[in-house]
Chain A
Amino acid sequence: MNRLLLKWNVGLLALPLLLWIVLLIILPLSDLFISSFQEKVGVGVFEWGLGNYQAFLQEPFYWQTFIRTVLFSIIATMATLGVAFPVAYYIAKVARGRVKSMLFVLCLLPFWVSELVRNYGWMIILRESGLLNHFLMKLNLITQPIEFLYRDATVMMGLIYTSLLFMVVPLVVVLENLDESLLEASDDLGGGRLISLRRIIIPHAMPGIVSGCIMVFMLTLGNYLTATLLGGKESLWFTEHIYNQFMTRWNWELGSAMGFLLLVVSSALVWLGLRMTGQKLNKVMT
């Protein structure tokens, strides 16, 4: 009797999660999957077929944007790692007490406002008549205002800024567990700083690095606001194509196919990343 009750209780507790997964993930995704195989042949008339995937492959600008988005996301992930690692190391190993928590809060601070507001903030700073140009002109460093917005480099900076926290947190968590006596031992045995970093710190931090990279890569690949707002007329982000297909072209079928391709390729890349670094997904994500 008790055991039965326990089973029911567990089932009841799992219900919200189950509903979440079924209603918000499985159902919409199957809907997308089905509609990605529907071809429009006339006004309100559809046929089954691979036409949407063909359209994606035949239009060079679709798959070129797709490849560009993936490459940019990989570069952004690496750059984020490069920026976040020293920060995380400092927070985890060097800073103590109040300074430590303050630094952590500083990393968190930009996330107290929404992504939209953050991007508008950058636009106010970087636009031709913006703050940065104003100061550069005041300091006589430039004579003509420069347009900082609508450049690939600006988009890259925005992406790194947006995803920094998601790299710092997992890194701090793994680095905090690093036994300092190992570093001392390495030092005693004549290993320099570089050797300690390469042979002790990085291998120890690997699960954190991989989980941070996965999160940042997914966030960047699926980013819409930063890429379109800071990219302006030069923005070429794949999610923008998907949005356009759904919202302004009313071509949901092609949009679904593109969405699925994005899902498949990003999953494949994550799998590849795990294989290359010899990590297991369940270990990385805990």
Chain B
Amino acid sequence: MKITKYSVSGVLIWVISLSGFCSETLRILTWGGYAPASIVQKFEKETGIKVKVTLSNNEEMIAKLRATGGSGFDLAQPSHDRIQSAQQEYQIYQPIELARIQKELFDSAVLEATLKAATLGADLYAVPFIWGTNGLIVHQGKASVVQDYTDLCRPEVSGKVSYRLRRPTLISFAFALGEDPFAAYSDLNHYQGILDKVEKALIQCKQNVKTYWSGADVLLNLMRSGEVVAALGWDTTGWKLHAENKDIIYRVPRSGALGWIDTFALPKRAKNRLAAYRWIQFVMQPAIAAELVNEIGNFVAAKDIPSHPLVASSLKQNFADSFPGDTFKNVRWYPPVPPGFETYEGKVLDRIQVARAS
């Protein structure tokens, strides 16, 4: 008699705790700022699903999912060019069922670009969330000479420059040096040649660097304090600084800005896929998307968002200032990185890190 009573209550407790743990939380692995508290609250209120946000970046997201075999998170937000290689090497994602998402919510051009970059065989592994560009953030009064990435190495700005020691910097410098690394993706030897050239340039440039920035917050602080007057950075970081100090602007470099798309991807062993689909649907609604744009500063890949009445006019102005006329057409969108290339890039980054400034 006793035993049954205890075991029944035991099973009950087990069931309750299980249901509490599994079905009603959504665990998102994303970038800082992509799931702001206000939006999370609205989502929790509407759906009753609790949201747990873990902040990360492209490389760490993939490393984390690789370590857990694609479990621990229900939704991840890597960039569109990093999906194919990560999936081929480590099988950390599961296909997205496009039928579960309203395609009309998305901007068709960005959606198409993402579908092209994130499809393997017959399976699609990502849909777009947000897009933006990489370029130069420049203090006009103090670093007017900086018109292109390679100008960061000029003596006029010595000791007052910052960039990230990551692959976007390698690609940006390659273009500024007159190469086309994307065209060289099909030919490893040619690509290695370009990397060698970039490595040399970045080692020579090291004496100009104040420090390598690691996250947007670090860069914001460096630019605000005036310790850094020119940097390679994201458009939103530049626009945010411009709002505080009119002298600081986001500049599209002579060799062109680079365009990225951060996506939604389902980790292979996501427990709560339904909640993930609901989140995607939720944030892509025009009104929520507009709110997100105002929070994040980049344009969400929802339909007609750049002209949406709820999007702050200052953002529209920033965009128009940075991309006058039809210059936006010149943005180079990252193509998918071939698997294995990152190992070669990693070696170059290592060598730049250990090189002593000459």
| Given known A-B contacts A43-B88, A129-B226, A246 and B211 have beta carbons under 8 A apart | no
Q: Does A106 contact B (CB under 8 A)?
A: no
Q: Is the CB of A248 within 8 A of B212?
A: no
A147 to B207, CA, bound (A): 14
By secondary structure, the B interface counts as helix
Number of A-B contacts (CB under 8 A): 73
- Residues of chain A within 8 A of B347, CB atoms compared: 59
CB distance from A150 to the nearest CB of B (A): 6
Q: Of residues B91, B227, B356, which shows the largest number of chain A Cβ atoms within 10 Å of its Cβ?
A: B227
| Given known A-B contacts A43-B88, A43-B89, A128-B227, A249 and B211 have beta carbons under 8 A apart | no
Q: Does A135 contact B (CB under 8 A)?
A: no
Within the complex, which residue of B227, B346, B356 is in contact with A248, where a contact is CB–CB below 8 Å? B346
- Residues of chain A within 8 A of B156, CB atoms compared: none
Q: Does B101 contact A (CB under 8 A)?
A: no
Q: Is the CB of B354 within 8 A of A248?
A: no
Q: Does B116 contact A (CB under 8 A)?
A: no
A251 to B59, CA, bound (A): 12
- Residues of chain A within 8 A of B4, CB atoms compared: none
A250 to B206, CA, bound (A): 25
Bitwise interface map of A from 48 to 80 toward B, beta carbon under 8 Å scored 1, else 0: 000000000001010011000000000000000
Within the complex, which residue of A64, A65, A233, A249 is in contact with B212, where a contact is CB–CB below 8 Å? A233
Q: Which of A70-117 contact B (CB under 8 A)?
A: none
Q: Which of A37-53 contact B (CB under 8 A)?
A: 40, 43-44
A191 to B305, CA, bound (A): 86
Q: Does A22 contact B (CB under 8 A)?
A: no
| Given known A-B contacts A65-B354, A127-B225, A250-B63, A244 and B88 have beta carbons under 8 A apart | no
Q: Does A247 contact B (CB under 8 A)?
A: yes
CB distance from A106 to the nearest CB of B (A): 31
| Given known A-B contacts A127-B227, A129-B226, A232 and B212 have beta carbons under 8 A apart | yes
Q: Does A149 contact B (CB under 8 A)?
A: yes
Q: Is the CB of A241 within 8 A of B225?
A: no
Please count how many residues in chain A sit with their CB below 8 Å of the partner chain's CB atoms. Answer: 28
Bitwise interface map of B from 57 to 97 toward A, beta carbon under 8 Å scored 1, else 0: 00110110010000000000000000000001111000000
Q: Is the CB of B211 within 8 A of A232?
A: yes
| Given known A-B contacts A232-B211, A248-B63, A61 and B350 have beta carbons under 8 A apart | yes
Q: Does B339 contact A (CB under 8 A)?
A: yes
- Residues of chain B within 8 A of A61, CB atoms compared: 350-351, 354
A43 to B337, CA, bound (A): 13
Q: Does A164 contact B (CB under 8 A)?
A: no
* Pairs A–B under 8 Å by Cβ, sample size 28: A40-B343, A43-B339, A44-B88, A44-B90, A61-B351, A65-B354, A128-B227, A150-B210, A150-B211, A233-B206, A233-B209, A233-B211, A233-B212, A233-B353, A233-B357, A234-B356, A248-B60, A248-B63, A248-B346, A248-B349, A249-B59, A249-B343, A249-B346, A249-B350, A250-B59, A250-B62, A250-B89, A250-B343
Besides A127-B225, A252-B66, 11 other A-B contacts (C-beta < 8 A): A64-B354, A150-B211, A233-B209, A233-B210, A236-B353, A241-B350, A244-B350, A245-B346, A247-B59, A248-B60, A249-B350
Which residues of A line the B interface, CB within 8 A? 40, 43-44, 59, 61, 64-65, 127-129, 147, 149-150, 232-234, 236, 240-241, 244-252
